[in-house]
Chain A
Amino acid sequence: MSETPEMEFEGVRRRGEAMSPSEVAAWFVREVLPLEGILMQYLHHNWRNQSDITDLRQEVYVRICESARQRFPDHTKRFVLTTARNLIINRMRHEHVVPIEAVADVDALGLAIDAPGPDQVAMARDELRRLQGALDCLSPRCREVVVLAHIEGLAGHEIAARMNISQATVSEHLANGIRGLTNMLFGDGRKP
């Protein structure tokens, strides 16, 4: 059974045609982002220099979205991990660092590629805990700004007035907050 749905929410996708950017974006958010935790585990495990991980993740995403413009893969998880593996092997060849055999094979990872995911209600509960953890990882000032914006729904200038800080500082905290929350919610829980 194909993993791509027969019906999209807005308009019907015709097979064999190039995907529109919004279709690729929707596919990316729906199918790829939930796998970020697994991808990050794989990258952390197979690449020694941890400061390169963000670059590697982005390169994997760019490559699979480039490919998805032509066609959505049948098995997203396998495709994401294989792309990551190929990328790492290319890098290692280029840098002459370690033999290719050192890269964990996708199948050897022990990830049940096609197994059903955990119970979705349990996942939602787990994510609530993650969100709390993600908020706790932000600096106190950043957290205060994020809570006012995301949870209380205040606009940027309202936050600046309320906390008596400059609008530029509010912007900075909001941007950092968005990155921190995203990394914690989708990633493998490590701080990038």
Chain B
Amino acid sequence: MSEAGEGRIAENGAAEIEAQAAAWLQRRRYWNWSDDDQVALEAWLDQSLAHSVAYWRLDAGLGRAERLAALRNPEQEAVEIPASEKKPLRRFIPVLLRIAATLAIAAVLGVGAASFVLRSHDRVYSTPVGGHETVSFADGSKIELNTDTVVHTRMTSEQRVVWLDRGEAYFQVKHDPVHPFIVIAGERRVTDLGTAFVMRRDSGRLKVAVMQGRVWFDASNKKKPQQSALLMPGDVVTATADSISVTKDSARALANGLTWRQGVLVFKYTRLADATAEFNRYNRQKLVVTDPAIAQMTIYGAFPTNNVELFSRVVRDVLGLNVRDNGNQIVISR
């Protein structure tokens, strides 16, 4: 570029700035990085917005590449690495697998048998249908249990492990690189890297959504090789028995998914089928929609999780449907 009118980058072409940004980024990511290096990088970034933009862009590109790479089947990798050269993170996973296997056996035997296997510093926390509990730990971490949820924990000086046995929980973790905070749900593991995230486990499906920081997600079973991914804020993983997908949610969508923490369910043009299923997680008296056509109607609004009556009234008055309470169930029909 030669024209004076575009002075911001005239004396230093974009390709050159990009090369400098890439040089900084690789130095920070793959080599020893001192406080002085950080000061020098920040000075370079402050020199011009062009520097910052180039750096943000490459940093995001590298992050994207790493997350995608982590999701790839290991068999596709071009270079074979001896196990001894891999990073410690990968090495400790088999140990966890063994722990998980032990507990998986316990889980099959039922909660009563499971508690038999548990060690003395293990604790079980649970909520009934419609319940909501917050558990605080000595390290400052917190777990908020939603309705009908069971977790058990092992918090020792060596390890911090939580098993999400059933339901949904919101985790706010005080990060400690020496003692990673690990949440295990069946064959899936989430390792905190400084984080707030929510996990929901029901009928063979696991959903993990990250609000802050980063988490490491691992999945493995006998049929498939291990799959891992580094998750960033906004990332949502949905894992079923035979598929794993990663999607991106907006901050607003994630916030809507967490309103249970305030005891509220938010529906925005949600199908009646999904809204009633969500409500039924919180209440013993179940809502039933008999007509598939009605199930496709959508509802908009915020409802207290325990107020089935309010929900029923809105369904009746706004959607003009027939709502009948027969004691055991509330039946919605035309």
Which residues of A (154-183) have their CB < 8 Å from a CB of B?
Answer: 154-159, 162, 167, 170-171, 174-176, 178-179, 181-183
Nearest-neighbour CB distance to chain B for A154, whole angstroms, equals 7
Task: Report B-chain residues with C-beta under 8 Å of the C-beta of A147.
Answer: 77-79
Q: Give the residue name and chain of the A residue nearest to B23 (CB).
A: A175
Task: Report B-chain residues with C-beta under 8 Å of the C-beta of A16.
Answer: none
Query: A54 near B53 (CB under 8 angstroms)?
Result: no
Query: A178 near B22 (CB under 8 angstroms)?
Result: yes
Q: Give the residue name and chain of the A residue nearest to B15 (CB).
A: A54
Query: A185 near B30 (CB under 8 angstroms)?
Result: no
CA A127 to CA B66, docked complex, whole Å? 12
A99: Cβ under 8 A from any B Cβ: no
For chain A, the bracket of interface size reads 35 or more
Known: A7-B255, A151-B69, A181-B62. A61 touches B57 (CB 8 A): yes
Known: A5-B251, A25-B56, A171-B27. A66 touches B61 (CB 8 A): no
Query: A55 near B71 (CB under 8 angstroms)?
Result: no
Task: Report B-chain residues with C-beta under 8 Å of the C-beta of A101.
Answer: none
Task: Report B-chain residues with C-beta under 8 Å of the C-beta of A158.
Answer: 85
B218: Cβ under 8 A from any A Cβ: no
Known: A58-B54, A94-B3, A186-B61. A156 touches B9 (CB 8 A): no
Interface segment out of the listed B120-128, B183-191, B241-249, B288-296: B241-249
CA A121 to CA B27, docked complex, whole Å? 33
CA A62 to CA B248, docked complex, whole Å? 25
* Proximity bits, B4-20, A CB within 8 Å = 1, else 0: 01101100011101110
Indicate the member of A6, A21, A152 with the most B CB atoms within 10 Å.
A152
Which residues of B (67-84) have their CB < 8 Å from a CB of A?
Answer: 68-72, 76-79, 81
Count residues of chain B with CB under 8 A from any CB of chain A.
63
Q: Give the residue name and chain of the A residue nearest to B63 (CB).
A: A29
Query: A174 near B1 (CB under 8 angstroms)?
Result: no
Q: Give the residue name and chain of the A residue nearest to B61 (CB).
A: A182
Query: B86 near A143 (CB under 8 angstroms)?
Result: no
Query: B5 near A90 (CB under 8 angstroms)?
Result: yes
CA A108 to CA B70, docked complex, whole Å? 40
Task: Report A-chain residues with C-beta under 8 Å of the C-beta of B5.
Answer: 90, 94
CA A183 to CA B54, docked complex, whole Å? 12
Task: Report B-chain residues with C-beta under 8 Å of the C-beta of A29.
Answer: 56-57, 59-60
Known: A28-B56, A179-B18. A9 touches B212 (CB 8 A): yes
CA A120 to CA B237, docked complex, whole Å? 12
Task: Report B-chain residues with C-beta under 8 Å of the C-beta of A189.
Answer: none
Query: B251 near A8 (CB under 8 angstroms)?
Result: yes
Task: Report B-chain residues with C-beta under 8 Å of the C-beta of A162.
Answer: 85
